[in-house]
Structure 1
Amino acid sequence: MRCLVILIGMLLAPQAWANGAWEEIWSAEGTIIRGWLATPEGDGPHPAVVMMHSCFGPVDDQDELAAHDRSWVNILTDVGYVVLAVDSYTPRGAGSLCQERNRPVLARAERPWDAIGGLQFLQERSDVIGDKIAIMGWSNGAISLLWAVRDGASAATALEGPDFRTAVAYYPLCNDVVSRIDDYLPRVPVLVQIGADDDWTDPEPCRSLVSETRSRGGEMALEAYDQSFHLFDAPDTPVRPFMAVNDVEETGLIEIHFGTNDAARDQSIRRTLDWLADHLR
């Protein structure tokens, strides 16, 4: 347990951040949740990004946004995006779920509705361009992203305005999708970014998902970064082992690795910003 606290603490360690605050929002399925809202300089209106957190959850022990998520808030607001980092866990009484098999909040169940709720919250703001909103997700949040933007997704029935314009998914567990449906198509262009050495969310199912989706006419792209594990984009997090649950495989806790690869982090940030600029122009 002490090891778990130390590892999570590294991911949640405070840094210098852009301004932001928690806002109450409604999940599209009717539950009150919340999101960390941060705005860039200038009056706007601005394009925007909905962020979906990993299974570690989005907060530190001070109930502030965690270091990994905050680093992305800074990156995105610095280049002119309004950002809403949706918290699917805390309002439902959940903390880190990475070591939980029977999770009370699921990437394919509640969280796609949370994503749509975040989209609708932003569309009600006068400083946001309502038809220029992207969604980004990491790990469990990236799985929820894939389900949220799926053609025919239940959560999409709640859409009242424009859809997400595009999506960026960091190291999703693509098995969560390919093990359940064989005709996946996204409603919007999706960029998947993953570590080539990821031993928590295997990149091979993502390669297959992207290839098969493109063969059906869907717009998906994949970037796999050499010598990179899970959370390679986390700031200042040395690579180390961690005992975690894989959502799909019935293996209990498995030893995986996560941590920063500075070169891959920098490359993926540039790729993300280029992708967003291309699709939100």
Structure 2
Amino acid sequence: MHLLQYLHRCGLWLCFGLGLGPSAHAQPVSELVPGINGLALKTWVFHPLQKTHDTPRPVVIALHGCGGIYATVGSRKGQLSARHQGMTDLLLAQGYSVVWPDSLTPRQETSLCEQSMASRQVRQSHRLSDVHATLAWLAQQAWTDRQRVALLGWSNGGNTVLASSDSQQKIPQPSVTPDVALAFYPGCKDALRRAYQPSWPVHMLLGAADNWTPAAPCVALGQQSGMSFKLYPDSHHGFDNPVGQVQHLPRVPNGQHPGLGVHAGRNPVTGPQAWQDVLDLLKQRWPDPVSP
């Protein structure tokens, strides 16, 4: 059944992220991945239930935004947020393993969203190093299909997708490198200024109404670099969130109009479309069937 039909029957996204998805019983494993400067990078690793431990399968490294991995309020507090759990369940149902590096709590942070860029202690260089550490760790796992590793990031994690895929990087590459990457509503101004060119295929999923990380620089970046992108109409930052509604966040200082806050929240039409697009893009890159 097509994802949009399935989600409609389940009540849009309520199937995923709220314990109702087909892979809802897959339990994560917490792994400490060696990072730079002695940091123990905490990661959450999810495997499809039907896979044996040493069966190679595609892997998606999922990169959280400025708010971190976890829900901070409600019944899911301390667990993966509804969006993160929903996307995880969706990918597990396709037979992919999913790895979530936590770039914040090992560095004594819970959220960066209300911090100015200049005051942030967790910077893109840290997040880039976390990706490289995770890739190096995946290279040692028997279940990693080294030819099918993807990056998938949201917002600040989308920035990390761009930084990780920049062909101008001088950082030594790990023995496993991503085959494809997808970025939800990244901030593209810095990449645009430095004439970014992707090292592997990157696709951006952008909200046309986003006033936090506006789409226009990303559209220009895509046109300049040849990178693919899709612009979703009437969609704010976080439009793929399966729960909640659009809200004004007055304390976020880094938006399109500093001092006026930003808007973020789900679009019940374009959000599921974007999730289906994620699946379709991965299947285009990895056309061989994957047994869940």
* 2:44 maps to amino acid: W
Match of 2:51 in 1: 42
After superposition, residues 122-137 of structure 1 pair within 5 angstroms as 122-137=138-153
- Structure 2 residue 191 is matched with structure 1 residue 177: yes
Cα RMSD over matched residues? 1.8
Q: Which range is displaced more, 28-37 or 66-75?
A: 28-37
Where structure 1 has 5 or more consecutive residues not aligned to the other structure, the ranges are: 1-13, 215-219
2:99 to 55, 70, 84: 84
State how 1:191-202 maps to structure 2 within 5 Å. Answer: 191-202=203-214
How far residue 63 of structure 1 moved from its aligned partner, in angstroms, is 3.5
| 1:131-150 alignment, distance < 5 Å | 131-150=147-166
Residue segments in structure 2 that go unaligned for 5+ positions in a row: 1-16, 288-292
Match of 1:240 among 247, 269, 286: 247
- Quick one: which of 52, 76, 79 aligns to 1:64? 79
Distance 1:148 1:125, change over 3 A: same
TM-score, normalised to structure 1, is: 0.85
Retained in 2: the 8 A contact 1:28–1:116?
A: no
Does structure 1 residue 15 correspond to structure 2 residue 28?
Answer: no
Partner of 1:5: none
Instruction: Work out the CA distance in 2 between the residues paired with 1:252 and 1:22.
Output: 38
- Provide the aligned length of Structure 1 versus Structure 2: 256
Corresponding position of 1:103? 120
TM-score, length of structure 2 as denominator length = 0.82
Q: What does residue range 253-268 of structure 1 map to in structure 2 within 5 Å?
A: 253-268=259-274
Using the TM superposition, give the Cα deviation of residue 115 of structure 1 relative to its aligned residue in structure 2, in angstroms.
Answer: 1.0
Residue number in structure 2 paired with 1:222: 229
Deviations for 1:94-116, whole angstroms, at most 9, x for unmatched residues? 11110001111112x11111112
Residues in 2 aligned to 1:208 and 1:120: alpha-carbon distance in whole angstroms? 33
Could you say what secondary structure the match of 1:262 adopts?
coil
2:283 corresponds to: 277
